Structure 1
Amino acid sequence: MPPIPQYDGTTDPVDHLETFRTMMLLHGAFDGFLCRAFPTTLSAVARDWYSRLKPNSIDNFEEFGDDLAQHFMSSQRPRKTAASLMALRQEDDESLKAFVSRFNKEALQVLNLGPSAAMNALLPATKSNEFR
């Protein structure tokens, strides 16, 4: 099993939680084990936060994850939405190929983006009449 990086409170807590959960569930870990093993992945201010939790204040891993994510909310990476794609525009000096590549990178970050929504955002954002 690859090592799970330490979480120090400066990166997205949801990403860390999902990495940990995926690795543990892959090996058949149950909820109680997740709660006991997760603190070993914390360092710096995240470990300080954990050490200040009241004993027996967490009932399950989902609650633990919610508490962690809420406490380190300022470190969360903003989630992309279909609306954020609508704000993208091809720059004057940007090739169509470069813009479509940039658009695709952004679109991959939008959860549950349907093809029609992606096309509705892409087409008006390009400067190429032939492409539209």
Structure 2
Amino acid sequence: MYNGRTDPVEHVSHFNQRIAVHFKNEALMCKVFFSNLGPVAMRWFDGLAVGSVISFRELTQAFGSRFITCSRVPQSLDSLLSMSMREGETLKVYSDRYWKMFNEIDGDFDDVAIRTFKVSLPTEHGLRNSLTRKLATSVLKLMEHIDKYKKVEKDQ
């Protein structure tokens, strides 16, 4: 259900994935689309003038235009590059914050993420020293390495 507060482009994309087998039947897609609207979006839909939309494409364009202010704006790579671990912040809290920001960036920046995570740690941090000796070769390996250090930090 679209609640009027989330990204309309993502909603249309998810809807298209769910109804892909009926992609050629525009009338059905339009009828099913409005059944996935919450109260705010339904009021908008009910307010459409009769005959103002003649295709599913026009419907989704009008929908996106109406709810454009809810669109998710991807973060820039600079947002990730400017992150650093705060004084007194645990590795768990920092890594959660880091990966949340990483997931908000569009593009393939795994290599940058691996390198910037290391340099964003305090110079005396054990994980930074470990990553200096043996740099992770993938984001998954980096996350596994971080998890080991989070367990050590938790045990202390």
TM-score range, shorter chain: 0.7 to 0.9
Q: Deviations over 1:5-41 (max 9, x none)?
A: x22312332232222111111xx01150322310111
Give me the whole-angstrom Cα distance separating, in 2, the residues matched to 1:101 and 1:8.
27
Using the aligned pairs only, state the percent identity.
Answer: 23
Structure with greater helix share of residues? 2
1:8 and 1:47 in contact (8 A); partners too: no
Given candidates 105, 108, 118, the residue that maps to 2:103 is 108
| Structure 1 gap ranges (5+) | 1-5
Give me the whole-angstrom Cα distance separating, in 2, the residues matched to 1:125 and 1:17.
37
Deviates more, 1:33-42 or 1:111-120: 111-120
Match of 2:22 in 1: 29
Please, what is the CA RMSD of the aligned residues? 2.5
- Flag the 1:62–1:80 CA change in 2: closer, same or farther, 3 A: farther
Higher Rg of the two aligned structures: 2
Deviation at 1:68, TM superposition (A): 1.5
Given candidates 39, 43, 46, the residue that maps to 1:48 is 43
- Flag the 1:115–1:8 CA change in 2: closer, same or farther, 3 A: closer
Question: Aligned letter for 1:9?
Answer: G
Q: What is the count of residue pairs matched by the alignment? A: 125
Deviation at 1:46, TM superposition (A): 0.8
Given candidates 5, 10, 14, the residue that maps to 1:10 is 5
Given candidates 80, 85, 92, the residue that maps to 1:90 is 85
Structure with larger RCO (C-alpha < 8 A, sep 6+): 1
Scaled by the length of structure 1, the TM-score of the pair is 0.73
User: Is residue 124 of structure 1 aligned with residue 115 of structure 2?
Assistant: no
- The SS at the match of 2:35 is helix
- The SS at the match of 1:102 is helix
Scaled by the length of structure 2, the TM-score of the pair is 0.64
1:20 and 1:38 in contact (8 A); partners too: yes
